Amino acid sequence: MAMTYQEMVAAARAEITEIDTATLESRLVDGTAIIDCREADEYEQGAIRGARLIPRGLLEPNITMQIPDRSTPIAIYCAAGMRSALAAKAIQDMGYTNVVSMAGGFGRWKAEGREWSEPVTLTKEQKIRYSRHTLLPEVGEAGQAKLLDAKVLLIGAGGLGSPAALYLAAAGVGTLGIVDFDVVDSSNLQRQILHNVDRIGMPKVESARETLIALNPDVKIRMHNTRLSADNIIEIMSEYDIVVDGGDNFPTRYLINDASLHLEIPVVHGAIFRFEGQASVFNPYEGPCYRCLFPQPPPPDLAPSCAEAGVLGVLPGIVGSIEAMEAIKLILGIGEPLVGKLLTYDALEQEFRQLKLRRNPECQACGDREQPPAIVEYDDLCMPAGTVARTS
């Protein structure tokens, strides 16, 4: 028997649950997956905040990948509540047990003055460039927009900073700051893959900028061709959301830690020695800080630099890539960042381990949130310099 569209919608409505706009509004914060099943051009002109776009025609093929758990509460809406009724019926038939359709659709939602926003949308070129990201349900276009909006500061354009910068730029992190006062030397090229033979003698920040812009013109590069010091670190770091530490000495690492506690910015930490690497995330006051783990640096005979002791070039490639991954997870708010955990890597044994790190309640740097450490220049001993009252 032939059916009209209206009859099909009526038949679907008889078999699904419909909710009104007020009920959907009350469910925005309870973990319900909100699906906008309109077309992309409708969605781009305005949508319910937090809704994910899965156009009606792509719903059945994509839903099991996007929402694998068939018991997940799902609310679907369209423009007027008809397409969403058919959509709800379709995925209910696929075994989803907790699906509702919003009667009246986005049209009624908007007319009632409920909150909506224009989703940040990608350009045509960006949709192609980042398509392998946006296919991931954990990223999607909304996640890619977050990456494009993020500001990450890389300390050092060396062994760790090179792979971190390349992957963050390729991922479309919108603003990358790079701090380095050094120039490219031929002994860097065995591991510092941002640079090349033509750039020998060039400031590393300029060489890095040329490489990264060529990789992804979406990314704004801010060059800080200076040595980080007590005088400039707060000003520089305050422009960013996240710091990726690829420094090569203890005084800088303690200085970054202290400034991060002032500004309450997370630091993605990486460090290497010969064939061994370490990585962690120091999220101020949420987990341990660098000084909780290492209250004082080791004496120089226990901690020679890469220049003195050597390092296999691939090692910073691996550890710096882990730092880039952690930074992206922080920006997207996905997964379990390495907060309160130290990842150790032994390249010769090809062994990764995770050690638990705890926040030291008596830490001289992060023990009291209202008294962050004084920002001072450290010598090689990096002894704690006391604290100051929080001003910001």
Residues that bind other proteins (CB under 8 A): 156, 158-161, 245-250, 253, 270-276, 278, 293-299, 302-306, 309, 311, 316, 342, 344, 349, 353-358, 360
CA–CA gap between residue 197 and residue 257 (Å, rounded): 34
Of 129, 211, 199, 202, nearest to 162 by C-alpha is: 211
For the CB of residue 176, give the shortest distance to other proteins in the complex, in Å.
17
Of 51, 48, 55, 56, nearest to 74 by C-alpha is: 51
Check residue 348 and give left, alpha or beta (phi > 0: left; psi -120 to 50: alpha). alpha
Three-class SS of residue 152? strand
Max alpha carbon distance in the chain (Å)? 87
Show the tokens assigned to 169.
């730029």
For the CB of residue 345, give the shortest distance to other proteins in the complex, in Å.
11
CA–CA gap between residue 242 and residue 30 (Å, rounded): 29
Q: Annotate 279-291 with b (16+ C-beta within 10 A) or e (fewer).
A: bbbbbbeebbbbb
Of 242, 208, 50, 226, nearest to 140 by C-alpha is: 50
Q: Are strands 17-19 and 52-53 parallel, antiparallel or unpaired?
A: unpaired
Comparing CB distances to other proteins, the nearer of 222 and 274 is: 274
> What's the one-letter identity of residue 285?
Y
Comparing CB distances to other proteins, the nearer of 146 and 253 is: 253
Comparing CB distances to other proteins, the nearer of 79 and 272 is: 272
For the CB of residue 311, give the shortest distance to other proteins in the complex, in Å.
6
Kindly provide the residue ranges of all beta strands, DSSP E only, lying in 105-171, ordered along the sequence: 151-155
For the CB of residue 168, give the shortest distance to other proteins in the complex, in Å.
16
Comparing CB distances to other proteins, the nearer of 137 and 295 is: 295
For the CB of residue 301, give the shortest distance to other proteins in the complex, in Å.
9
DSSP assignments along 94-113, one per residue: TT-SSEEEETTHHHHHHHTT
Q: Are strands 341-346 and 351-356 parallel, antiparallel or unpaired?
A: antiparallel
Comparing CB distances to other proteins, the nearer of 13 and 191 is: 191
For the CB of residue 320, give the shortest distance to other proteins in the complex, in Å.
8
CA–CA gap between residue 187 and residue 233 (Å, rounded): 28
Comparing CB distances to other proteins, the nearer of 140 and 288 is: 288
For the CB of residue 279, give the shortest distance to other proteins in the complex, in Å.
11
Comparing CB distances to other proteins, the nearer of 13 and 253 is: 253
Comparing CB distances to other proteins, the nearer of 169 and 357 is: 357
For the CB of residue 223, give the shortest distance to other proteins in the complex, in Å.
18
For the CB of residue 380, give the shortest distance to other proteins in the complex, in Å.
11
Comparing CB distances to other proteins, the nearer of 89 and 191 is: 191
Comparing CB distances to other proteins, the nearer of 198 and 351 is: 351
For the CB of residue 142, give the shortest distance to other proteins in the complex, in Å.
33
Q: Could you give phi then psi for residue 161, rounded to 5 degrees?
A: -65, -30
Comparing CB distances to other proteins, the nearer of 284 and 340 is: 340
CA–CA gap between residue 53 and residue 315 (Å, rounded): 40
Question: What distances in angstroms separate CA 103 from CA 49, 338, 364, one per listed residue?
Answer: 18, 43, 58
CA–CA gap between residue 53 and residue 38 (Å, rounded): 7
Secondary structure letter of residue 11 according to DSSP = H
Question: What are the helix and strand counts (H, E) for the chain?
Answer: 16, 13
For the CB of residue 179, give the shortest distance to other proteins in the complex, in Å.
12
